[in-house]
Structure formats: structure tokens, C-alpha cells
Amino acid sequence: MLLRFLHSTFCNAAIFAGILFFVMGYVIHLFPPKSTKSWYGYRSFLSTKTPEMWRSANEYAAYISRRIGVILMATGVACALIFTSQTDWFLYITVGAVVAGTMYMVGDTEWQLTRHFDKDGNRILPE
């Protein structure tokens, strides 16, 4: 029974990573990390500059993570319904979606930080 599931198309990276991204985003949204010393949270060079940047980065990354999780789960289910077996293309699509989603989350969060904060970590006020 377990081997049958492991070899089915419903056992794929996009579904598992999608669930992980959604849960991670939901947990960080409900319980935001208090400081950069927390064991969880979105951690990068920019996000750890100031406490305000840390809060903003984690808030935005949690939002993006939930959205990417839903997209990854939908991609995984669609691939599971389209493909009849775990072929090379099936793996390229499901794993590629996870890599692209991860890169998007990091890139977009860093871009948001550079748009809303200056190089010293002070918030840029809209004109």
C-alpha cells in the first residue's frame, strides 16, 4: 500500500512543498518571530538589519509563502492528474515549480525590502 502511493503521481514534490510552504506561512503569520534570534522566520542580510525590517520581511514572506503554497499544491495535483507515471518530465515540472517558488519568495521579499527601506534600514516614506 505504501509503495503503491510512493510510486503514484500523487506523491510529488510540488504537493509536499506546497503544504509545507502554506503551513510555514500560516504559522509565521499567526506567531511572528519576535527577534532575529528566533529559531524560525525569514532570515537574510537585509531582513536582519533592523527590527522593523525583520518584522516587515517576515510579514511579507509569510503572505507570499501562503500564496506559493496554494499554487504549488494546485500544480502538484494538476501534474498528478495529467501524468500516468513519474516520468522525467513529471519530476522536472514538479521539482522545478518548487525551485521557482522558492526563488520567487526570496527575490520578491528582498525586492520589497529595498523598495520600502533605505540602505541604513530606515523606512522610506511615500511622497
Percentage, residues of the chain above pLDDT 70: 99
The answer to whether residue 56 sits within a structural domain is: yes
The answer to whether residue 123 sits within a structural domain is: no
The answer to whether residue 52 sits within a structural domain is: yes
pLDDT at 117: 94
Percentage, residues of the chain above pLDDT 90: 76
pLDDT at 126: 75
How confident is the prediction for the chain on average, in pLDDT? Answer: 93
The answer to whether residue 34 sits within a structural domain is: yes
The answer to whether residue 121 sits within a structural domain is: no
Domain residues for the domain of 60 are: 14-116
Helix/strand/coil (H/E/C) assignment for every residue in the chain: CHHHHHCCCCCCHHHHHHHHHHHHHHHHHHCCCCCCCCCCCCCCCCCCCCHHHHHHHHHHHHHHHHHHHHHHHHHHHHHHHHCCCCCHHHHHHHHHHHHHHHHHHHHHHHHHHHHHECCCCCECCCC
pLDDT at 127: 61
pLDDT in tens, 6-53: 778 888 999 999 999 999 999 999 999 999 889 999 999 999 999 999
pTM: 0.89
Number of domains in the chain: 1
Residue 15: Cβ-neighbour burial (10 angstroms; 0-12, 13-18, 19+): buried
- pLDDT above 90 for 125: no
The answer to whether residue 1 sits within a structural domain is: no
The answer to whether residue 7 sits within a structural domain is: no
pLDDT at 58: 96
The answer to whether residue 5 sits within a structural domain is: no
- Strand pairing partners for 117? 123
